[in-house]
Structure 1
Amino acid sequence: MVNSLNGKNILVVGAGGLLGSRLVKYLIDRDVNVVAVDLNLLTMKERLSKLGVDTGSSLLTCNELDITNETQVKRFFSSELQIDGIVNAAYPRNKTYGNKFFDVSLQSFNENLSLHLGSAFLLTQQAAAYFERNKTPLSLVNISSIYGVVAPKFDIYDNTNMTMPVEYATIKAAIQHLNKYVVSYIKDSRFRVNCISPGGIFDSQPEAFLSAYKAHTHGAGMLDVDEMMGSITYLLSDDSKFVTGQNIIIDDGFSI
């Protein structure tokens, strides 16, 4: 599967984050050309280096990009960019993100929708504009979530300080329909937009949460971020050349 990415140029947005950084490493280790962008160039390079990525590799180009900034994003896609695939793994949010439902103000809710869903719209729009200018095959993968598919299982948050943010669930559901809207609008099989919906990804959560979450799966519990790589690279590759507007759920049965 990954061999079909040979010779392709993949843009990873949010390359300094948990998923984005591991995806960069995964692709570089398989000799795929990567353009890695994030809000903070230095922080991104430090995280990639800690994963063992040679940030001076000829396969890797690193740039700073604020995907919530319309001027920056339009300028980036209007540059001498040559890409065949894009993965949007960015996760912009404000300082009050993650409050429990009754503690979320309208201002905070709207701001988080603007940051996360708004930037997903902007990136998808500009990817479509890039395709319209170049008319070469382009596959975009956005990141949704199981909580964009099913309602939260709030019992798994008992005995923890955690919750499932209402902004998160709203945004992740909207991303799936955004994908369908855009591919229906462009209506060209060479331009594909899909997403994956991961279940819980392990990131040092409390033991009470991990145990409760695992009880809702078929035994795997929280997944390692590397479990997402196969589905992402499938959607980027020519192996999925007529797959578009779709959502792949990766959750070991959590949403069943």
Structure 2
Amino acid sequence: MEKLLENKSILVAGAGGLLGTRLVSALLEQGAKVIAADINAEAMRERLSLFGVNIENDKLSFCELNVAKEEDVTAFFKKRELQVDGAVNSTYPRNKTYGRHFFDVTLDSFNENLSLHLGSAFIFTQQCAAYFKWQQQPFSLVNISSIYGVVAPKFEIYNNTSMTMPVEYAAIKSAIQHVSKYVAAYVNDSRFRINCVSPGGIFDNQPESFLTAYKTKTHGAGMLDVDEIVGSILFLLSNQSKYITGQNIIVDDGFSL
């Protein structure tokens, strides 16, 4: 049986991150060639190895890429040797004051985080579109949004913790969905597709009180393991979603209902 992404080459930006590491592994399992990109190539290689990825796999290559630098992104997509059928932007750039409670967020910090995360999502999406225009070959881009780009936060689940749902995150993730639709409509070619995946909460050793409160808002699963997000991304990169574009797949066990 042919694998889902046999003979496809996929770029993963943020391949050293929580989602990126699992995605690289899943893509290789589905027969894809993978270009793993991150701001620190050595740290990315170490993290992938830690999660059981064979970094000597001849279908896996590595590159250093800072998505927050326009010149880095544009230069990457202009490489003559670059041959990719799709990309996933799983990066999460932010500043040192990211994540403060609403009344503690300064305008400068808010603007800087929008520039880092939404700005980098814009330039990455723009350059994927430019690459498609140049190559004139089918291309599928998956951007990562969030349930909090769809619905307002349920702030009560953060009670009795030091955590909050950052206002910057909500603004950025909702905008990523609309930028994705904008670019898909602007390019206006069925061979070029952009879709979003919006995960619910992903387990990352959060406080027990938060995990318990969060679980009451789902249909029973609670926080999801990062591996449970990957299938929707693989689907959107594959030919099984050939005419799906401008859409947002929510994976949250009913949290946003």
Q: Same fold (TM over 0.5)?
A: yes
Q: Which amino acid aligns with 2:249?
A: I
Give the aligned partner of residue 22 of structure 1: 22
Rounded to whole Å, the distance in 2 between the matches of 1:83 and 1:2 is 19
Q: Which amino acid aligns with 2:54?
A: D
Deviation at 1:28, TM superposition (A): 1.6
Give the aligned partner of residue 51 of structure 1: 51
Q: Which amino acid aligns with 1:149?
A: V
Structure 1 unmatched runs, 5+: none
Deviation at 1:194, TM superposition (A): 0.2
Rounded to whole Å, the distance in 2 between the matches of 1:130 and 1:196 is 22
Rounded to whole Å, the distance in 2 between the matches of 1:31 and 1:245 is 26
2:163 paired with 1:196:
no
Q: TM-score, normalised by structure 2?
A: 0.98
Deviation at 1:31, TM superposition (A): 2.8
Give the aligned partner of residue 41 of structure 2: 41
1:218–1:254 contact (8 Å) kept in structure 2: yes
Give the aligned partner of residue 148 of structure 1: 149
1:4 counterpart SS class: coil
Give the aligned partner of residue 78 of structure 2: 78
2:15–2:37 contact (8 Å) kept in structure 1: yes
Give the aligned partner of residue 111 of structure 1: 112
Give the aligned partner of residue 12 of structure 2: 12
1:67-103 CA-partner distances (Å, limit 9, x unpaired): 0111111110000210001000000000000000000
Deviation at 1:2, TM superposition (A): 8.1
2:182 paired with 1:181:
yes
Deviation at 1:29, TM superposition (A): 2.6
Q: Which amino acid aligns with 2:51?
A: L
Q: Which amino acid aligns with 2:162?
A: N
Deviation at 1:170, TM superposition (A): 0.5
Give the aligned partner of residue 157 of structure 1: 158
Deviation at 1:236, TM superposition (A): 0.2
Deviation at 1:4, TM superposition (A): 3.1
Runs of 4+ in 1 over 6 A off after TM superposition: none
Q: TM-score, normalised by structure 1?
A: 0.99
Q: CA RMSD in A?
A: 1.0
State the percentage of identical aligned residues.
65
Q: Which amino acid aligns with 2:142?
A: V
2:147–2:200 contact (8 Å) kept in structure 1: yes
2:87–2:140 contact (8 Å) kept in structure 1: yes
Rounded to whole Å, the distance in 2 between the matches of 1:185 and 1:110 is 26
Give the aligned partner of residue 125 of structure 2: 124
